[in-house]
Amino acid sequence: MKYDTTNPPQDAAPLKHLSIVIPARNEEGCIRATIEHLDLELSLHDIEHELVVVDDGSTDRTWAILQELSERLPALKPIQNSGEHGFGRAITYGLAHITGDAVVIMMADESDDCRDAVAYWTILNQGWDAVFGSRFIQGGGVIDYPWHKLIVNRMANFFLKTLFAIPLNDTTNAFKAYRRTAIEGCRPYLSPHFNLTVELPLKTIVRGYRWTVMPITWRNRRFGVSKLKLKEMGSRYLFIALYCWLEKHFSRGDYRLR
């Protein structure tokens, strides 16, 4: 495990271009604001970027809105997932189409703060392979988090923190940042659904990439309906967590960073 917030690595190559991957399914009520605010924030900080938005089988006007926006926002690159649908599949499809040397994964519903994406870029440029946001450390926070989901979230993250003996208490949150080298080093991806949010950070840790944590804020969506179904995801989260645990203890370092 390579975790040390006080001593950033000194041997990492400088980053030049940031990719944002956003999976979107039936997000017509919020996708326009998400894209416009994010593009503006990154531009204000002179961050060269692309916004890879993956339409994952939307049946509303999501794709039409993305096409309209792309005509006036050069950084926007909307693509359609033509294969099987699923949150994890959409992200994996998006990662296969990025051109940046770093990537931030964000939600389409504007629950993630675009100012935190700027902070991710800044910290990655200190030399880290990955930066994991936490809503549950000093400086972080949540707004209007459904209480039943909050309870399940804290239990799941306590389990992962204990199982892997890591100082990370928000592993399940999708909003994280990676150098492209870490993303490529974590292949192949197994998770077709929301369990990819667990697979990516755990593989990054288990395979020896250098990572740190920063506080982030989250607010509940104001439009649309959440796609996460807790009853469907429990066994999938457990499967991928145990898969990564087995890799850590029994793969004899075959997948670790050399």
Tens digit of each residue's pLDDT (9 = 90 or more) over 180-197: 999 999 999 999 999 999
pLDDT in tens, 88-136: 999 999 999 999 999 999 999 999 999 999 999 999 999 999 999 999 9
Q: How many domains does the chain have?
A: 1
Among residues 13, 25, 163, the alpha carbon closest in space to that of 91 is found at 25
Does residue 159 fall inside a structural domain? yes
Q: How many CA atoms lie within 13 A of 18 on its CB side?
A: 26
Name the amino acid, one letter, at 245.
W
CA gap 254, 185 in Å, rounded: 12
Does residue 103 fall inside a structural domain? yes
Does residue 258 fall inside a structural domain? no
Does residue 5 fall inside a structural domain? no
pLDDT in tens, 127-149: 999 999 999 999 999 999 989 88
- In the predicted model, what is the mean pLDDT of residues 145-163? 94
pTM for this predicted structure: 0.93
Does residue 1 fall inside a structural domain? no
Q: How many CA atoms lie within 13 A of 75 on its CB side?
A: 21
> The domain containing residue 244 runs over which residues?
15-250
Does residue 10 fall inside a structural domain? no
- In the predicted model, what is the mean pLDDT of residues 153-159? 95
Does residue 223 fall inside a structural domain? yes
Does residue 242 fall inside a structural domain? yes
Written as six digits, the tokens of 189 are: 């991806």
pLDDT over 90 at 67, yes or no: yes
pLDDT over 60 at 52, yes or no: yes
E strands of the chain, at which residues?
2-3, 18-24, 49-55, 76-80, 102-105, 130-134, 141-143, 176-179, 210-215, 217-219
Residues facing 77 on adjacent strands: 52
CA gap 39, 223 in Å, rounded: 20
CA gap 116, 133 in Å, rounded: 9
Residue 86's CATH number: 3.90.550.10
User: What DSSP state is assigned to residue 77?
Assistant: E
User: What DSSP state is assigned to residue 71?
Assistant: T
